Chains A and B, each alone.
Chain A
Amino acid sequence: MNSGGEALREPWESLRRQREAAGFGMWLFLNSEALLFGALIAAFFATRFYHPQAFEAAGKEAEIVYGTVNTLVLLTSSLTMAVASFATRAELRRVSFWSLGLTLALGLVFLGLKIMEWRSDLEKGMVPGPGFPMEQPGAVLFWGFYWALTPLHALHLIGGLSTVGFLTWQAARGARPLRSPAFEAAGLYWHLIDVVWIFLYPLIYLQGRASS
């Protein structure tokens, strides 16, 4: 276990310690990311506090079909990423590449659906500014948050896709051994993107569905 081979880097003396550091370092970064999205979601709720009905009415206009399907897609990509994280650690070469590839594919599907959803929103004119269809004051704030939060989440997803894609490419070239701790760390980041979406989903899509 202690002879890390080419996976070991400065200044570590054992791969075990390096693995611990990769995980810990990534978790510290995730704390930071959690505060970033946490602050935005707190801002969402602080604004919603003064306009509960308007936010419900506005949330009803969000595309719940795209939203729900995308939730399922992203949850499934978390499954494949979790499998990839275990498989790389166990150096199961075929399973690793399959699961990494599926994760990337599902991430791309999410982005594709997201773009279609945005197109449909644009067609309905749900963009704050002149010609915004909803009269109710405060509704436009919901859509302000929508257009701030979903692209920021998509940007993080693109970051995740590039990281996982890069690591996979390195592994395929043989430049990175499968038991490198980087796969597990990238997996943690991927799951964070999923967790953020898990919270964005009820905030954006599930409001005001019950009221007629």
Chain B
Amino acid sequence: MSRHSLGEGDPKTLGAILWRTVPVWAALIALALASCALAYVPMGGFNMAASLAIAAAKMVMVGVFFMHLRRPDPLLRLSGGAWLLWISFLLALVFADQATRAPISQPARTEGVTQRPTGPAGMPSF
């Protein structure tokens, strides 16, 4: 484990602290405003994708700069990223069901509820 792994090299004066943090904040604000503006540009299904991508970028910035993930501590990085794997387990297998479910057990198939066109054998067409 290196000597700087717990932030021993962190800034010690107000100037240095602000130099380390304010640019990150400015980028975050810019990204937030950009995602708000992008939401008004018609891109069909890509609106959600774009705003989620921006959110992910913001999360990475907060994680790396504000939550100290840039420190070279393997334990920190492991614990900072473990949840991603488990969230992906949840999403992958929930959608393995949702995306291939027979029409009869899809909630959207109730009379008058918004419908998603389905292909052969009840598989939704994407």
Contact between A and B in the complex (any CB pair below 8 Å): yes
Interface residues of A (CB under 8 A from B): 1, 16, 19-20, 23-24, 27-28, 30-31, 34-35, 38-39, 42, 45-46, 49-54, 64, 68, 71-72, 75-76, 78-79, 81-83, 85-87, 89-90, 92, 95, 136-138, 184, 187-188, 191, 194-195, 198-199, 201-202, 205-207, 209-211
Interface residues of B (CB under 8 A from A): 6-8, 10-14, 17-18, 20-22, 24-25, 28-29, 32-33, 35-36, 39-43, 47-48, 51-52, 54-55, 58-59, 62-63, 65-68, 73, 75-76, 79-80, 82-83, 86-87, 90-91, 94-95, 98-99, 106-108, 110, 112-114, 116
Return the chain B residue nearest A194 by Cβ.
B62
Closest chain A CB from B91 CB (angstroms): 5
A42 touches B94 (CB 8 A): yes
A-chain residues with CB within 8 Å of residue B28 when the two chains form the complex = 75, 78
A-chain residues with CB within 8 Å of residue B14 when the two chains form the complex = 87, 92, 95
Q: What are 17 residue pairs bridging A and B, where the CB atoms are less than 8 Å apart in the complex?
A: A1-B8, A35-B90, A42-B87, A46-B98, A49-B95, A50-B98, A64-B36, A72-B29, A76-B25, A78-B62, A83-B18, A187-B66, A188-B68, A206-B47, A207-B48, A210-B42, A210-B47
Closest chain A CB from B90 CB (angstroms): 5
Closest chain B CB from A181 CB (angstroms): 9
A195, B110: Cα distance in complex, Å: 36
Identify which of B25, B32, B43, B79 contacts A201 (C-beta below 8 A): B32
B6 touches A20 (CB 8 A): yes
Return the chain A residue nearest B27 by Cβ.
A75
Identify which of B18, B52, B65, B114 contacts A54 (C-beta below 8 A): B114
A137 touches B114 (CB 8 A): yes
16 more CB-based (< 8 A) A-B contacts, given A52-B116, A82-B66: A19-B6, A20-B75, A50-B107, A75-B25, A75-B28, A76-B29, A79-B21, A82-B21, A82-B65, A83-B21, A87-B17, A138-B114, A205-B39, A206-B39, A206-B51, A209-B39
* A contact face: mostly helix, strand, loop, or mixed: helix
Identify which of A28, A51, A79, A206 contacts B113 (C-beta below 8 A): A51
B-chain residues with CB within 8 Å of residue A45 when the two chains form the complex = 91
A45, B110: Cα distance in complex, Å: 19
